[in-house]
């Protein structure tokens, strides 16, 4: 599980940063890719990356401001032009369906794959055997939601020493036990998964917020997360401006991370006044004074989601 940033700027693109979009790479977990927001130029950023639209399974939209959705019609159309037939689901606030359908109809774009559009107002928006995605309302000028991606706990590894005591050798029976099935021994008797599986691995939690100023929804989504992606449009000296425009400062993002007990914080959605990474260093420093494990998001930056260590030191 890894985050790959395709755009980290607020409002408009610059020479160094595109507008908002971040991909959650789930190649090992489900051989797919999820996208969070899709600002103008996102498909161009994907072309410059190792990401493939054929792997794209879900798109989660936080709100309908242009720097978060103007790339969506083009990406959906290009996906069809590439001959991709796998289904795709777009989740977003009320209005996302009208935006997509109107854009595609008026531009006479072909979408030769199953396109599902799910409008929501928070709560659990997706769940299957491996993941659950929750949404909660944030405080912004437009109706805006953040997302909490919860990886469900994974079965523990097989205890090879215990397996040896039962006379079991590597093969199909290992796989059955790993899947939670009991197996019958050749000499009689049964081996159950609980007999040979180590402690389950705790699933990871990734919180990706849309635009917001400090509010209760931030804490609800971020509580105990392994990784929090939080906007930091301005530095602390511009707190009043941030509040006026319903945005956050780097300092406020760090406070949110500390209060929620997250493991790692990544700042993104930077104002164009901070022209490059050098100009963003003061934002990083003010955040790290409060929450040391903070990083700045960079376009085309890859950030693994680390699994918390257990009490015994094992992930």
The pTM assigned to this predicted structure is 0.90
* In the block, residue with structure tokens 């705790």: 202
Compute the distance between CA of residue 74 and CA of residue 40 in angstroms, rounded to an integer: 9
Q: Is the pLDDT of residue 286 over 80?
A: yes
Element (H, E) at 191: strand 190-191
Question: What pLDDT is attached to residue 218?
Answer: 98
Handedness of CA 149, 247, 245, 44 (dihedral sign): negative
Q: How many CB atoms lie within 10 A of CB 239?
A: 15
Tokens of 118: 């799910």
Say whether both 100 and 231 belong to one domain: yes
DSSP assignment of 70-131 equals TTHHHHHHHHHHTT--S-EEEEESTTHHHHHHHHHHHTT----S-EEEEE-SSEEEEE-SSE
Kindly give the interhelix angle for 96-106 and 72-81, rounded to the nearest 10 degrees: 50
Q: What residues form the annotated binding site for Zn(2+)?
A: 63, 65, 67-68, 140, 211, 269
Q: State pLDDT tens for residues 209-222.
A: 999 999 999 999 99
Same domain, 117 and 192: no
In a domain, 242, yes or no: yes
Q: How far apart are CA 280 and CA 294, in angstroms?
A: 13
Contact 227, 263 (CB under 8 A): yes
With pLDDT > 70 as the criterion, what percentage of the chain qualifies? 98
Domain termination residue (choose one: 145, 169, 196): 196
- In terms of domains, do 244 and 280 share one? yes
Residue among 144, 131, 175 nearest 305 (CA): 131
The tokens describing 34, both together, are: 């999820």
DSSP per-residue letters across 208-232: E--S--S-HHHHHHHTT-SEEEEE-
pLDDT of residue 18: 98
| Binding-site residues | 63, 65, 67-68, 140, 211, 269
Instruction: Evaluate whether residue 260 is within a structural domain.
Output: yes
Give the residue, 292 or 181, on which the prediction is more confident. 292
Check whether residue 100 and residue 215 sit in a common domain: yes
Q: Are 180 and 155 in contact (CB under 8 A)?
A: yes
Clarify whether residues 83 and 18 are in a common domain: yes
Distance CA 115, CA 97 (A): 11
pLDDT tens, 92-148? 999 999 999 999 999 999 999 999 999 999 999 999 999 999 999 999 999 999 999
Verify that 83 and 189 share a domain, yes or no. no
DSSP 62: -
- Looking up residue 20, the CATH number of its domain turns out to be 3.60.15.10
Distance CA 279, CA 286 (A): 13
| Residue-level pLDDT at 4 | 98
Q: Residue 32 above 90 pLDDT?
A: yes
Average pLDDT, the chain: 94
67 tagged catalytic = yes
Within this chain, do residues 41 and 172 fall inside the same structural domain, yes or no? no
Question: How many domains does one find in the chain?
Answer: 2
Closest CA to 117 of 153, 148, 65, 76: 76
Q: How big is the CA angle at 289 (ends 287 and 292), to the nearest 5 degrees? A: 75
Q: What span, in angstroms and rounded, lies between the C-alpha atoms of 314 and 43?
A: 39
Domain limit, last residue, from 196, 223, 257 = 196
Instruction: Report long-range pairs for 278-282 (Cβ below 8 Å, ≥24 apart).
Output: 282/235
Give the domain extent around 46: 2-154+201-304
Cα-based angle 279, 246, 16 (whole degrees, multiple of 5): 30
Residues 27 and 50 in one domain: yes
121-147 b/e (C-beta count within 10 Å ≥ 16 → b): eeeebbeeeebbbbbbbbbbeebbbbb
Distance CA 3, CA 304 (A): 6
Q: Whose CA is closest to 159, among 207, 113, 191?
A: 191
Q: Is residue 41 a part of any domain in this protein?
A: yes
Catalytic residue chosen out of the listed positions 37, 67, 226, 299: 67
106 and 10 in a common domain: yes
Residues 122 and 29 in one domain: yes
Decide if pLDDT at 310 tops 90.
no
Which residue(s) pair with 33 in the sheet?
25, 56
């Amino acid at each position: 599980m890894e985050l790959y940033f395709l755009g980290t700027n607020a409002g408009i693109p610059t020479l160094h940063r595109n507008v908002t979009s971040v991909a959650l790479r789930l190649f090992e977990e489900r051989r797919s890719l999820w996208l969070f927001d899709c600002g103008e130029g996102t498909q161009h950023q994907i072309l410059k990356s190792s990401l493939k639209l054929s792997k794209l399974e879900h798109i989660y939209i936080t709100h309908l401001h242009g720097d978060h959705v103007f790339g969506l019609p083009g990406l959906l159309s290009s996906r069809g032009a590439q001959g991709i037939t796998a289904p795709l689901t777009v989740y977003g606030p009320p209005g996302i369906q009208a935006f997509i359908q109107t854009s595609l109809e008026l531009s006479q774009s072909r979408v030769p794959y199953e396109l599902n559009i799910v409008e929501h107002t928070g709560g659990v928006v997706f769940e299957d055997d491996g993941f659950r995605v929750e949404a909660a309302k944030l405080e912004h000028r437009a109706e805006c939601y953040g997302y909490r991606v919860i990886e469900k706990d994974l079965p523990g590894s097989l205890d090879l020493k215990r397996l040896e005591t039962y006379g079991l050798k590597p093969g199909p029976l290992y796989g059955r036990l790993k899947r939670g099935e009991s197996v019958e021994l050749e000499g009689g008797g049964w081996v159950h998964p609980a007999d040979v599986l180590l402690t389950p691995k705790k699933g990871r939690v990734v919180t990706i917020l849309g635009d917001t100023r400090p509010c209760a929804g931030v804490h609800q989504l971020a509580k105990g997360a392994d990784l929090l992606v939080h906007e930091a449009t301005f530095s602390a000296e511009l707190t009043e401006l941030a509040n006026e425009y319903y945005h956050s400062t780097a300092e406020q993002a760090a406070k949110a991370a500390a209060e929620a007990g997250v493991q790692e914080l990544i700042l993104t959605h930077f104002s164009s006044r901070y022209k490059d990474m050098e100009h963003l260093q003061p934002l990083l420093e003010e955040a790290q004074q409060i929450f040391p494990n903070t990083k700045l998001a960079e376009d085309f930056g890859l950030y693994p989601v680390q699994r918390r260590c257990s009490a015994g030191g094992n992930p």
